Amino acid sequence: MSIVVENLTKKYGEQKAVNDISFEIKTGEVVGFLGPNGAGKSTTMKIITCFMAPSSGDVRLDDLSIHSDPEGIKKKIGYLPENNPLYLDMPIVDYLRFTAEIQGVPKDKIPSRISDMIDRCGLDREKHKNINELSKGYRQRVGLAQAMIHDPEVLVLDEPTTGLDPNQIVEIRNLIKDLGKEKTVILSSHILSEVEATCDRILIINRGRIVADGTSDTLRSQSQGQELLKINIEADPAKVESAVRGLASVEKVTGIDGKAGWFNVQSKPDASSRKEIFDLCVQNKWYLMEMTGLETRLEDVFQKLTK
């Protein structure tokens, strides 16, 4: 089931929390939704799930619109909100049975759905406890279980790995990737490495507008700019630095603190310094021990787009 967002706007007074955004998520796609606090991520997710009405625009799941059939859309979506509201005084199994009944799961299928969710979300060891006895990480697992209890076609997950330890994050990441084979998933997170490892595509929103849309590799290449190299040359560091700085293709050379003979080299726009550095070492009979291109990190792309 695809998600189509068309010219979506949400106003609070004169402020536009979401400002005329449009995008599409195809069936079976896992999309990361990134942005700084207050950028409009949670507002957009609340509108998609019919938790909140937009000021203008539309969201469609296949042929269902949030305006004409919000109840139909809710049945197709599993939603884990940012704050993960739970009934803390309820036992886990009773809570999942309650949410299954609310979501209209047939009574004869509820026990098997509860068992499946307990297994898939790693709750077996804790299943006899009340929710208020659980750690934050396990409460997050219960939130994931309730989002999936009715086997929805679309999952909207707002910060799904909040409070999880590194091992739990890997487990949930694998679960989300597995779910992405059969469901459409949109998730937000501030852990960019997790988004990169989990998602097929990334959307970045800033000040209510979509500022980037593509794979992590595409976003990095678009933001790459000038070539940046890390080099290690076995020779007099002062002579190396002076000679490399004098190359026609080089814009900037900086030594790496505490590492003699190591330098970061920034090439001029639309130029590469690799061949000139190699030829320089051959000419001076210096040993070129390493020359590595430094890839733009997703964190750098995010900061560049959202400052």
Residue 162, pLDDT above cutoff 80: no
Q: pLDDT tens digit string along 249-284?
A: 999 898 887 788 999 998 888 789 999 999 999 999
Average pLDDT over residues 185-214: 89
Residue 164, pLDDT above cutoff 80: no
Largest CA distance in the chain: 80
Q: What does the pLDDT read at residue 86?
A: 94
Average pLDDT over residues 117-143: 91
Task: Look at phi and psi of residue 254 and say left if phi exceeds 0, alpha if psi is from -120 to 50, else beta.
Answer: beta
Beta strands per DSSP E along the chain = 3-12, 15-25, 30-34, 56-61, 64-65, 77-80, 154-158, 184-188, 201-206, 209-214, 228-234, 250-255, 262-267, 287-293
Q: What does the pLDDT read at residue 224?
A: 66
Average pLDDT over the chain, rounded to an integer:
90
Average pLDDT over residues 42-46: 93
Beta bridge partners of 204: 34, 212
CA 120-125-131 angle, to 5 degrees, is 90
Domains defined for the chain, CATH in brackets: 3-214 (3.40.50.300), 226-295 (3.30.70.100)
Q: What does the pLDDT read at residue 226?
A: 72
Residue 297, pLDDT above cutoff 80: no
Q: pLDDT tens digit string along 10-40?
A: 999 889 999 999 999 998 899 999 999 889 9
| pLDDT tier, 165 (very low <50, low <70, confident <90, very high otherwise) | confident
Q: What does the pLDDT read at residue 136?
A: 85
Residue 231, pLDDT above cutoff 80: yes
Q: pTM to 2 decimals?
A: 0.75
Higher pLDDT, 193 or 57: 57
Average pLDDT over residues 300-305: 79
Edge-first strand listing for the sheet containing 184-188: 77-80, 154-158, 184-188, 30-34, 201-206, 209-214
In contact, 232 and 261? CB cutoff 8 Å: yes
Residue 243, pLDDT above cutoff 70: yes
Residue 98, pLDDT above cutoff 80: yes
Pairing of strands 209-214, 262-267: unpaired
